[in-house]
Amino acid sequence: MQASRSTALVAAALVAANLGVALTPGDLALPARAALAVMVTVALGLLVVQVLRLLRRAAEAEAAASASERRLTGLIAANPILVLDGDARIADVTPAFAELLGVDAAAIAGRHVLDLVDARDRDTAGDGWVATLRRPGMHAPIEVRVRNVDGHIRHLEVIGNNLLHDPAVRGVVVTCRDVTDRHRAQRALARQAMHDALTGLPNRTLFHDRLADALARAARSGTRVGVLFCDLDRFKVLNDSLGHHTGDRLLVEAGERIRAAVRPIDTVARFGGDEFVVLCEDLPGPSGAVAVAERIIDQLDKPFAGATGDIHLSTSVGITIARPDDTPESLVRDADAAMYKAKGRGRNRWELFDEVLRTEALERHNVEQQLRRALDAGDLRLLYQPIIDVRSGAVRGAEALLRWRRPGAGLVTPETFLDVAEETGMIVPITRWALEQACAQVDGWRRLPCAEDVTVSVNLSPRDLLHPSIVADVAAVLARTGVDPSALCLEVTEKVAMGHDEGLLLNLRRLKDLGVRLAIDDFGTGYSSLAHLRRFPADELKIDRSFVAGLGEDPHDTAIVTATISLAHKLGTTVVAEGVESPSQLRQLEALRCELAQGYLFGMPGPPEDIGRAITGDTGLVPCAASTRVRA
């Protein structure tokens, strides 16, 4: 009992101390009942303190809640939000929504929400409203256009939250997000993807899309669609001589002139380079397209102002009128074919795609399809024509001549397929194959007695020479076959060799650096000048067969051959006469000190075994061991 009393007193003292109450010694001497009363009093005091603390915390929480509520209210006010009643009429809007439309909130209160939506999107908005009414809660966002008080369109992403069942709201809360800037950025990107960067005209992709739509409309309405393919005549020469800045300006102005010449409903596109294509809809017939083509030709035939005087430009136009089975691709292809026909007939004119051209185009398509399979099918082969020493008659090399065993046509020459191969780019893998075959073959010939200097000649096309991998391809072939680079002679026509393309000349010099020989083929048929000839690192000049044919009979041909041989010798270049067919031609070439010759007099193009037999003397040609070749 005494211990309990002491404990109670100590506890009372501690509580009193916590409360800041001073107990006297007399208080400590009180009986236990008194002490208990003191403790009850103290406990009540503590309860009051706890209540006060709880009240203070509640006040602080309420203040925090008010601040949070104010923040939420400000956040809501800063965003475009509107509340709709069950009939889709506006019950309330935030200031941000009213500001977005440029109106007072009171001015739109009670209006139907679809009145604010652009007519193009009212069906979408109406469907969204019906879906929102079907069930409570949040719904998927939709995009609509609204027009503000200034008439400007704003794109809004809206989310409806059906709270009609909520007694505190009784409405549909629509939260809006202005995505106009995003749409502008998307339109800018789409325009960049669908328009030519230089002229601002539609590009190939957009043109094909519009042409497909036009064909679909024409099929429904029975109207006619035409495509005009325009290619500026000799633009590359102007671009190279006047500079690319002037060339770009000419392209921009040409595009503007073409647009001025066509009808408002027509589409003018730039396909790249100096190619422009026009889509003509609702044509009465071919005459309507011809009228547009003639206006374009007239517009571009007028002089362009240049820094140093007038610049004269012209265009060749190909026209095609759509048939029921045509596609955008076939129409552009046919118009392109007609354009090439216009160029071939003198330029600065138009040509209409007809049945003759259609047959030719179909044939080109068949050639392309079959040629694509020719490499894998093993249908390509090389024949070789000997190149002999004029003085001794010994075989000095051979020219590799491409042939194609075309299904149903037998062995055909490159004239029947080279244009298609060049146009489609198939010439590049074909040339790689020919280089591989020819280098392996000359390596075999060089293993024959006295044949260590025999060469093989392979023709390169313009597309080959401009291909970025041509130098690496030739180097790789030389490495794989192990043949000496001097055994390979690469031939390019005079027209290509004398071109102005710096990339082409650079590749030729790099090929020369590999150690291979370079020859100018068909010399005399192009537009050579001494300045261009000096820039070209030629080892050989091949006089065209048309001049050799008149040697000794036509004074002009004889003079050209004589002058060419003399010029080549002064430049330290070997001369090869092509198309030698008679002993008299050979005697005159020898008298003129022409070093090499090839032609039917020495052999038709044949298999590599024929060259091997000629090298070893198994034919009428002189074997290499008997050669006493005289160098100029």
pLDDT, tens digit (0-9, with 9 covering 90-100), for 345-404: 889 999 999 888 888 878 888 898 999 999 889 999 999 999 999 999 999 999 999 999
Pick the more confident residue, 584 or 532.
584
* pLDDT for 552: 86
Quick check: 113 pLDDT over 80? yes
* pLDDT for 18: 42
When mean pLDDT is compared across 45-54, 165-174, 545-554, the lowest value belongs to: 45-54
Instruction: Give the start-end residues of each E strand in 289-334.
Output: 304-306, 309-311, 315-321
Residue with tokens 């129409």: 331
Residue 494's CB is within 10 A of a number of other CB atoms, namely 23
The mean pLDDT value for 221-250 works out to: 90
* pLDDT for 236: 84
Q: What pLDDT band is residue 620 in, cutting at 50, 70 and 90? A: low
Pick the more confident residue, 16 or 619.
619
* pLDDT for 34: 45
As a whole number, the mean pLDDT across the chain is 84
* pLDDT for 408: 87
Structure tokens at 249: 């300006």
Structure tokens at 259: 């647009």
Q: What pLDDT band is residue 74 in, cutting at 50, 70 and 90? A: low
Q: What pLDDT band is residue 11 in, cutting at 50, 70 and 90? A: very low
CATH number of the domain at 366-619, out of 3.20.20.450, 3.40.50.300, 3.60.21.10, 3.40.190.10? 3.20.20.450
Residue with tokens 């002679």: 489
Q: Which residues, other chains included, contact 368 with Cβ-Cβ below 8 Å and sequence gap of 6+?
A: 420, 424, 426
The mean pLDDT value for 596-611 works out to: 94
Residue with tokens 């001025």: 260
Helix (H) or strand (E) holding 53: helix 32-77
Beta bridge partner(s), residue 272? 275
The mean pLDDT value for 407-430 works out to: 90
* pLDDT for 14: 36
Q: What pLDDT band is residue 501 in, cutting at 50, 70 and 90? A: low
Quick check: 31 pLDDT over 60? no
* pLDDT for 59: 62
Class of the CATH domain delimited by 78-184: alpha beta
What is the per-residue pLDDT across 296-311, written as a single tens digit (0 to 9) for each? 999 999 999 887 888 9
Per DSSP, 623 falls in state: P
* pLDDT for 365: 83
When mean pLDDT is compared across 30-44, 151-165, 479-493, the lowest value belongs to: 30-44
Pick the more confident residue, 52 or 498.
498
Task: Please say whether the beta carbons of 383 and 611 come within 8 A.
Answer: no
The mean pLDDT value for 517-525 works out to: 85
CATH number of the domain at 196-353, out of 1.20.1250.20, 3.50.40.10, 3.30.70.270, 3.30.30.60? 3.30.70.270
* pLDDT for 522: 82
The mean pLDDT value for 205-231 works out to: 94
Pick the more confident residue, 65 or 121.
121
Q: What pLDDT band is residue 4 in, cutting at 50, 70 and 90? A: very low
Of 606, 625, 607, give the one whose Cα is nearest residue 617. Answer: 625
Per DSSP bridges, beta strands 171-178 and 142-147 are: unpaired
The mean pLDDT value for 414-438 works out to: 92
Q: Please tell me the distance from the alpha carbon of residue 407 to that of residue 135, in angstroms, as a whole number.
A: 69
* pLDDT for 585: 94
Pick the more confident residue, 31 or 67.
67
Q: Please tell me the distance from the alpha carbon of residue 514 to that of residue 478, in angstroms, as a whole number.
A: 9
pTM for this predicted structure: 0.59
Quick check: 129 pLDDT over 60? yes
Quick check: 24 pLDDT over 80? no
Sign of the alpha-carbon dihedral angle for 554, 555, 560, 562: positive
Quick check: 542 pLDDT over 70? yes
Residue 228's CB is within 10 A of a number of other CB atoms, namely 26
Largest pairwise CA distance in the chain: 158
Quick check: 35 pLDDT over 50? no
* pLDDT for 67: 57
Quick check: 471 pLDDT over 70? yes
Quick check: 43 pLDDT over 50? no
Residue 526's CB is within 10 A of a number of other CB atoms, namely 18
